[in-house]
Amino acid sequence: MSEDVTHIRFSVLGGAFTSFWIHVNSEDLIKTAVMATFGTVVSYVVSLLVKFIRKRIKRHQAKD
């Protein structure tokens, strides 16, 4: 019984993936990759900025 359920799940997932893949064009994939890269870079820069600000605040508090 367990093998039947697994087979059905993979069949449904395979059909959904195939249906999805037909409707996606290369422009969408490129746009998604560019936006993901941009989001990653912005996230990294913001985390560095927050780290820098926290360091400055701690240093300023230590002087007082």
Q: How confident is the model at residue 3 (pLDDT cuts 50, 70, 90)?
A: low
Long-range contacts of 20-27 (CB under 8 A, 24+ apart): none
More confident residue, 37 or 19: 37
User: Dihedral, CA atoms, 54, 60, 62, 64, nearest 10 degrees?
Assistant: -150
DSSP per-residue string spanning 8-58: HHHHHHHHHHHHHHHH--HHHHHHHHHHHHHHHHHHHHHHHHHHHHHHHHH
Q: How confident is the model at residue 44 (pLDDT cuts 50, 70, 90)?
A: very high
Residues 29, 27: Cα–Cα separation, whole Å: 5
pTM exceeds 0.75, yes or no:
no
Q: How confident is the model at residue 41 (pLDDT cuts 50, 70, 90)?
A: very high
The pLDDT of residue 49 is 97
